[in-house]
Amino acid sequence: GWMTATALRRLLYPELTIEVVESDEIGIIGVGEATIPPFRRHNELLGINEREFVCATQATFKLGIEFRDWTRPGDSYIHGFGPLGLDLDGQPFHQYWTRAMQLGVAKDLGVYSFNVQAAREGRFIAHPGRRTEEHAARGHCLRVSL
* Active site members: 62
CA–CA–CA angle 7, 8, 14 (5° rounding) = 105
Cα 79 from Cα 77, distance rounded (Å): 6
Neighbours of 46 (CB within 10 A): 13
Q: Is residue 38 a contact partner of residue 142, using CB atoms and an 8 Å limit?
A: no
Instruction: Give the total residue count for the chain.
Output: 146
DSSP tag of 75 = -
CA distance 135 to 23: 38
